[in-house]
Structure 1
Amino acid sequence: MKPADVCIAVLVAVIWGLAFVASRIALNEFSPELMTTLRFAIAAVPCLFVRRPDVSWPLLIAISFTLFLGQFLAQSIAIAQGVPVGLTSVIVQSQALFTIGFAALLFAELPTRMQTIGIAIATVGLLMICGTVGYDFSVGAFAVLMISPVSFAVGNLLLRRAQDVRMFDLFAWLCLVAAVPLFALTLVSNGPQPTWHALTQMSLTGLVCMLGLGGISTSIAYWLWGRLLRDYTAAQVVPFALLVPFVGSAASSVAFCETFGPLRLAGMVTVVGGIAVMLLSRRAQTLPKIA
């Protein structure tokens, strides 16, 4: 990779890591539903200037509801219910484990030996983290959080079917498709009056967080990431995502004085280590067709 593109990949990972901290701060003012709605409404502004990509509505909705709506709404609800930001950033990256697993089940893409080892390592790390659930946040909150990487993984596989389209246009419309039902959900769950009050009483801190989440973390960062994946192989680009949980954990420890017990910290490191083994190994092989 060119040095400039390496810097872009690192920058995107830093932006995504800091986004977890911005989400936690924004949740002091907004409900999880409203915060997620605002995030995608801001990121969908480019739809005013770009045409809808040549992707069918059912596929567009399916990708949006998994890759964006399901992933980020689950994150927001879990953080609002007390799941630490640093831990959240690690769990979300476990999507690599689920992506490889679902690809094996649905498309017969057998993981390599090293990927299998990585899956086993990451699974052990998740089990170690599960052993710490119930002390500072509930089992229910952790269950909601686990929806995020699973939804992320399904969205990754669906995204394969949207080929030969401009990434910026696609992500803008995916955000729009997610924002509409999220706004309806916000009105139903929060009520019109509380929603209007939260919007009109938004502080400068809340506004900055939402602009960062919608305009930078979602719109710009995803576009940059898509451009890198267009110009380089996934094996060259995807490992940079390993920086996200480290940035998220470090930032949360500074911003919120977040600390981790020995078992949870060991579990987080084990998960990241397993993901590293998966991402740095060779791509999965497809089972040969049997007549």
Structure 2
Amino acid sequence: MNRSATVLLTALAPVSWGTTYAVTTEFLPPGRPLFTGLMRALPAGLLLLALTRVLPRGIWWGRAAVLGALNIGAFFPLLFLSAYRLPGGTAAVVTSVGPLCVVGLSAVLLGQRPTARSVLTGIVAAFGVSLVVLRAAGALDVLGVTAALAATVSMSAGTVLTQRWGRPDGVGPLALAGWQLTAGGLLVAPLALGVEGAPPALNGPAVGGYVYLALANTAVAYWLWFRGIGRLTATQVTFLGPLSPLTAATVGWAALGQALTPVQAAGMAVAFGATVAGQLHRTGTAERPSDRPGRGGRPGPVTATAGTPRQTSGG
């Protein structure tokens, strides 16, 4: 499959995540963010495990637990905590700095030299998102901002480590997604029960909402996300992240009757332009799957010599 098709398929993940807010507010019980995170992760992970029938081996038990904690187990609770404590779309603005986090972590863990263009593109993407989702100023909650930043760093680290470690021989992205979702869901479960208590009573719309979140929004979306991380650079994958708040704004306008101002429309254009630019820039390294084995038993990234242009080919 060519690179453009891979980018488009990977982009479906953040587009799907952009529908989470509408589904949660319209169909799910209020005030149960941890239970919602649990229902997103654990059923999806167990389903993928049942479909693939592949379990981690050796060092991958530990790696699956680490990736599951970063991408799911820590990310979900921190993200929900920030969303509940920060006004308007402030949480989305804070988390939109994810591309900048991945650029920095990729330099440390993958040896990908950050470029002025990638840093500028990340700043422009965050600015565009802020125009779309940021509302009237209010007192910012320190815990909420800290949780949003921690969620961003957690997902960014998970994205970079997923690319660094690759996958074991014979293991596809579907199984890798199942490992992480199951591990993350098992981490969220005791937290949800301890903080929120017993599961709430569910009506028909709530059941449908949870089924959608577990299947399309999580099982399929994370499979596409981890598949993309294996074929693109971590920086390219994370530059698709702004599509999530852009989708949320579009769904709010089209389906929920929320107004879309000219400033918001301009912000969408800016953020989308930065997302496209993030797929075009060159970095200090590129992943070439056919070159040599990586640490996870699969091909890994190849480091360029100084002055050699690289083609960029993850959360």
User: Which deviates further from its counterpart, 18-27 or 127-136?
Assistant: 127-136
- Asked if the contact 1:116–1:278 (Cα under 8 Å) also holds between the matched residues in 2, the reply is no
When residues 106 and 4 of structure 1 are mapped into structure 2, their CA distance, relative to the original with a 3 A threshold, is closer
Corresponding letter in the other structure for 1:253: W
Residue 74 of structure 1 and its aligned partner are, at CA, apart by 2.1
When residues 42 and 7 of structure 1 are mapped into structure 2, their CA distance, relative to the original with a 3 A threshold, is same
Give the Cα separation in 1 of the matches to 2:8 and 2:110: 34
| Residue from 91, 112, 116 that aligns with 1:109 | 112
| Residue from 171, 175, 182 that aligns with 2:181 | 175
Give the Cα separation in 1 of the matches to 2:142 and 2:73: 22
- Asked if the contact 1:40–1:176 (Cα under 8 Å) also holds between the matched residues in 2, the reply is yes
The corresponding residue for 1:212 is: 212
TM normalised by structure 2 equals: 0.71
Residue 117 of structure 1 and its aligned partner are, at CA, apart by 2.4
| Residue from 157, 160, 171 that aligns with 1:157 | 160
The corresponding residue for 2:74 is: 70
CA shift digits 1:65-113 (9 cap, x unpaired): 11112222222223334644x6655654432211111222444432123
Give the Cα separation in 2 of the matches to 1:127 and 1:219: 29
The corresponding residue for 2:293 is: none
- Asked if the contact 1:242–1:276 (Cα under 8 Å) also holds between the matched residues in 2, the reply is no
Aligned ranges 1:29-178 → 2 under 5 Å? 29=30, 31-46=32-47, 47-49=49-51, 50-54=53-57, 56-81=60-85, 83-84=87-88, 88=91, 91-122=94-125, 134-135=137-138, 138-160=141-163, 161-164=165-168, 165-178=171-184
The corresponding residue for 2:297 is: none
- Asked if the contact 1:171–1:222 (Cα under 8 Å) also holds between the matched residues in 2, the reply is yes
1:283 match: secondary structure = coil
- Asked if the contact 1:92–1:149 (Cα under 8 Å) also holds between the matched residues in 2, the reply is yes
User: Which deviates further from its counterpart, 41-50 or 148-157?
Assistant: 41-50
1:141 match: secondary structure = helix
Give the Cα separation in 2 of the matches to 1:25 and 1:137: 26
When residues 78 and 257 of structure 1 are mapped into structure 2, their CA distance, relative to the original with a 3 A threshold, is farther
Give the Cα separation in 2 of the matches to 1:139 and 1:186: 23
Give the Cα separation in 2 of the matches to 1:3 and 1:281: 14
Give the Cα separation in 2 of the matches to 1:78 and 1:94: 15
Unaligned runs of 5+ in 2: 286-302, 307-315
When residues 118 and 77 of structure 1 are mapped into structure 2, their CA distance, relative to the original with a 3 A threshold, is same
- Asked if the contact 2:44–2:181 (Cα under 8 Å) also holds between the matched residues in 1, the reply is yes
When residues 26 and 179 of structure 1 are mapped into structure 2, their CA distance, relative to the original with a 3 A threshold, is farther
TM normalised by structure 1 equals: 0.76
Corresponding letter in the other structure for 1:247: T
2:18 match: secondary structure = helix
User: Which deviates further from its counterpart, 34-43 or 245-254?
Assistant: 245-254
Residue 138 of structure 1 and its aligned partner are, at CA, apart by 3.9
Corresponding letter in the other structure for 1:175: L
Q: Give the structure with the larger helix fraction.
A: 1
Give the Cα separation in 2 of the matches to 1:186 and 1:20: 19
- Asked if the contact 2:111–2:284 (Cα under 8 Å) also holds between the matched residues in 1, the reply is no
The corresponding residue for 2:298 is: none
- Asked if the contact 2:74–2:154 (Cα under 8 Å) also holds between the matched residues in 1, the reply is yes
When residues 261 and 2 of structure 1 are mapped into structure 2, their CA distance, relative to the original with a 3 A threshold, is closer
- Asked if the contact 1:23–1:213 (Cα under 8 Å) also holds between the matched residues in 2, the reply is no
The corresponding residue for 1:250 is: 250
Residue 37 of structure 1 and its aligned partner are, at CA, apart by 0.9
Give the Cα separation in 2 of the matches to 1:111 and 1:74: 27
Corresponding letter in the other structure for 2:99: A
Residue 130 of structure 1 and its aligned partner are, at CA, apart by 11
The corresponding residue for 1:280 is: 280
Give the Cα separation in 2 of the matches to 1:146 and 1:79: 12
Unaligned runs of 5+ in 1: none
When residues 123 and 211 of structure 1 are mapped into structure 2, their CA distance, relative to the original with a 3 A threshold, is closer
1:29 match: secondary structure = coil
Report how many aligned residue pairs link the two structures: 281
When residues 139 and 127 of structure 1 are mapped into structure 2, their CA distance, relative to the original with a 3 A threshold, is farther
When residues 43 and 144 of structure 1 are mapped into structure 2, their CA distance, relative to the original with a 3 A threshold, is same
Give the Cα separation in 2 of the matches to 1:140 and 1:262: 32
CA shift digits 1:114-141 (9 cap, x unpaired): 1132244456668989996752874543
Q: Which has the higher contact order (CA 8 A, sep 6+)?
A: 1
